[in-house]
């Protein structure tokens, strides 16, 4: 009676055929195929993430194009962590997130700067004197002619002595002529300004004194004489002006000049 030869202890049983004592050949692997995971997805995530970062440097457009690239890089990065090289995938995700944050930051900064510039230009435009197409008006013995209006200034004076506005200054160039037969005292404090909401503002005599050569607060005007000066009002920023109401004296009815 014969017995099969004992198995070789140096070779595992699974490498042997059940019908033969000879070991099985090792399983063949297709040529060119590596046991290591491919880095293709991870590298692609990093490339797209880098593109998202660079696109983030472009204001406005970067939010949209860079944002889409960032989303794509994050998706590829997540897939790459599972199926490809996790370190490279994480780098791609970080680049994508950095690009998205950068695009928002740059766009916000550019928009804020543009808005500040627009506000500055608007303020500068409002401070340019506007010539008033107003006919002379008469109250008592005074004939008033409003020449120009300037709104938006916030400071008067020089380096050693200045006056700050609580809101913004409105400056009206005014000519006053005595067309009567007796002298009168002109007072800028009697002159009033109204906005489109009906709010009333009194002239700021103390501020007018800060204007060079402007002594327009209490002036005697004899018959046939005329004076020129500036009346200053301090109004809230952005006030829409409606009318001036000019007075010869405290008991005169006054006369209106439209500022619109």
pLDDT tens across 197-239, in order? Answer: 999 999 988 777 777 667 787 889 999 999 998 899 999 998 9
Q: How much is the pTM?
A: 0.52
> Three-state SS string across 57-103, please?
CCCCHHHHHHHHHHHHHHHHHHHHHHHCCHHHHHHHHHHHHHHHHHH
- The one-character DSSP state at 212 is T
Confidence (pLDDT) at 222: 96
pLDDT class for 130, splitting at 50, 70, 90? confident
Q: Strands of the chain (E only): list them.
A: 130-131, 137-139, 142-157, 162-178, 184-187, 192-195, 200-202, 218-221, 226-235, 241-246, 255-258
In this structure, of 111-115, 212-216, 243-247, the range with the lowest mean pLDDT score is: 111-115
Q: Which residue is associated with the tokens 């491919």?
A: 38
Q: What is the pLDDT of residues 137-195, one digit of tens each?
A: 999 999 999 988 989 888 876 655 678 889 999 999 999 999 999 999 999 999 999 99
Round the average pLDDT of the chain to a whole number and report it.
Answer: 76
- pLDDT the model gives residue 199: 96
- The rounded distance, in Å, linking the Cα atoms of 132 and 257 is 10
| pLDDT of 125 over the 50 cut | no
Of residues 14 and 215, the one with the higher pLDDT is 215
Share of the chain above pLDDT 70, in %: 60
């Amino acid at each position: 009676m014969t017995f099969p030869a004992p198995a070789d202890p140096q070779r595992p049983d699974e490498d042997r055929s059940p019908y033969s004592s000879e070991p099985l050949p090792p399983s063949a692997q297709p040529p060119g195929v590596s046991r290591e995971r491919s880095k293709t997805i991870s590298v692609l995530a990093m490339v797209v993430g880098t593109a998202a970062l660079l696109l983030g440097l472009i204001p406005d457009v970067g939010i949209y194009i860079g944002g889409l690239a960032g989303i794509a890089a994050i998706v590829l990065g997540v897939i790459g962590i599972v199926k490809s090289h996790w370190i490279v995938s994480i780098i791609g995700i970080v680049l994508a997130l950095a690009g998205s944050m950068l695009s928002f930051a740059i766009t916000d900064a550019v928009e804020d700067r543009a808005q500040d510039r627009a506000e500055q230009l608007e303020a500068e435009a409002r401070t340019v004197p506007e010539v008033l197409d107003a006919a002379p008006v008469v109250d008592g013995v005074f004939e008033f002619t409003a020449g120009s209006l300037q709104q938006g200034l916030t400071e008067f004076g020089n380096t050693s002595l200045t006056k700050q506005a609580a809101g913004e200054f409105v400056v009206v160039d005014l000519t006053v002529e005595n067309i009567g037969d007796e002298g009168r005292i002109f007072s800028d404090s009697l002159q009033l300004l109204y906005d489109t909401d009906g709010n009333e503002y009194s002239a700021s005599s103390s501020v007018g004194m800060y204007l060079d050569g402007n002594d327009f607060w209490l002036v005697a005007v004899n018959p046939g004489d005329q004076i020129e000066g500036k009346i200053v009002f301090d109004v809230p920023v952005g006030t829409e002006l409606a009318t001036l109401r000019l007075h010869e004296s405290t008991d005169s009815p006054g006369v209106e000049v439209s500022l619109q």
